[in-house]
Amino acid sequence: MDSSIITVPARRSLPNAESKMNLVDTHSHIYLEEFSDDLSSVITRAREAGLTHIFLPNIDKESIEPMLQVCRKYPALCYPMMGLHPTSVDLSYQKQLAVVEEQLKSNPEFVAVGEIGLDLYWDKTWLPQQLDAFDRQIRWALEYQLPIVVHCRDAFDELHQSLLPYRYSGLTGVFHSFTGTPEDARKLMQFSGFLFGINGVVTFRNSSLPATLKEIPLEKIVLETDAPYLTPVPFRGKRNESAYVRYTLSKVAEIYHKTEADVAKITSDNALRLFTRAKEEKRF
């Protein structure tokens, strides 16, 4: 999640690609107020773009009900996660974590523990609390046999050190919005159960991601939007939405010298192997 200022773009045709491709958006906040006026249209465009699954990460206790409402309204498409975002960690984080724990205990519909992690970009004040919240949520993920979805901003070394004790624990997950260096990628690939979430940042003109992706096998990649943030070119600076994952798909296919159909299949298969609860029949 990136709290950039956004506006809603005009409708524009999606890039040319095989119309029957199935895609997965592994990270989208379409339950936020930015979508309150036109969510049904956003969902329609997502389906038209080939989206079969949209995974919705939680932020804090205030976002739980809006997120679940969207998942209940679109149960064959939208799937919820449960976690406390690091930028929501403050003096009340213990109470926030208690809500997360109760939700994980009582609701079997959550497909992951997320969005969790470390963020030192906005404020370094709460680093000890962020570290504690991250570790506790990792342990809940292991307890409930769920993957984690990891946010990391300006905290790579701290994140790496936090994860090292769990290297051989069976922990799985996604490094959401990965924008690291080739060396960062090599270090994170030591955690064999993890995938790298790639979004619109890869389309930015000055992005270093295309070079870094040469270090990462396509079998380790999943696609995401982080909607309404991190909108890909040609809509950069506008509101993002799940349908725009097609622009990220096009760029990733170019980088790996693959067809869009091949990349769509590989990344979607990667996602559904990880988020196993999304394959279960039981829904809300």
Domain positions in the chain: 32-279
Tokens representing 118? 């470390």
Contacts 24+ apart (CB under 8 A), 212-218: 212/180, 212/181, 212/182, 212/184, 212/185, 213/252, 213/255, 213/256, 214/182, 214/255, 215/182, 215/185, 215/186, 215/189, 216/185, 216/189, 218/252, 218/256, 218/258, 218/263, 218/266, 218/267
Q: What single string gives the DSSP state of each residue in 73-121?
A: HSTTTEEE-B---GGG-STTHHHHHHHHHHHHHH-TT--SEEEEEEE-S
Q: How far apart are CA 216 and CA 237, in angstroms?
A: 28
Exposure of 53 in the CB half-sphere (CA atoms within 13 A): 28
Cβ–Cβ < 8 Å for 246, 217: no
Which one is the CATH code of 32-279: 3.40.640.10, 3.40.190.10, 3.30.960.10, 3.20.20.140? 3.20.20.140
Task: Return the C-alpha torsion angle 155, 223, 13, 38, nearest 10.
Answer: -70
Provide the residue type at 178 as one letter: F
pLDDT of residue 5: 43
What residue type is assigned to position 17 of the chain? A
| pLDDT value for 17 | 45
In the numeric block, the tokens 């296919």 are attached to 253
- pLDDT tens, position by position, for the chain (284 residues)? 764 444 555 444 455 444 569 999 999 999 999 999 999 999 999 999 999 999 999 999 999 999 999 999 999 999 999 999 999 999 999 999 999 999 999 999 999 999 999 999 999 999 999 999 999 999 999 999 999 999 999 999 999 999 999 999 999 999 999 999 999 999 999 999 999 999 999 999 999 999 999 999 999 999 999 999 999 999 999 999 999 999 999 999 999 999 999 999 999 999 999 999 887 645 55
Cα–Cα distance for residue pair 171/139, rounded to 1 Å = 9
DSSP per-residue letters across 216-253: S-GGGEEE---BTSSPPTTSTTB---GGGHHHHHHHHH
For residue 130, give the H/E element and its range.
Answer: helix 127-143
What is the DSSP annotation of 131-143? Answer: HHHHHHHHHHHHH
Q: How many CB atoms lie within 10 A of CB 38?
A: 14
Which residues share a beta bridge with 113?
Answer: 82, 148
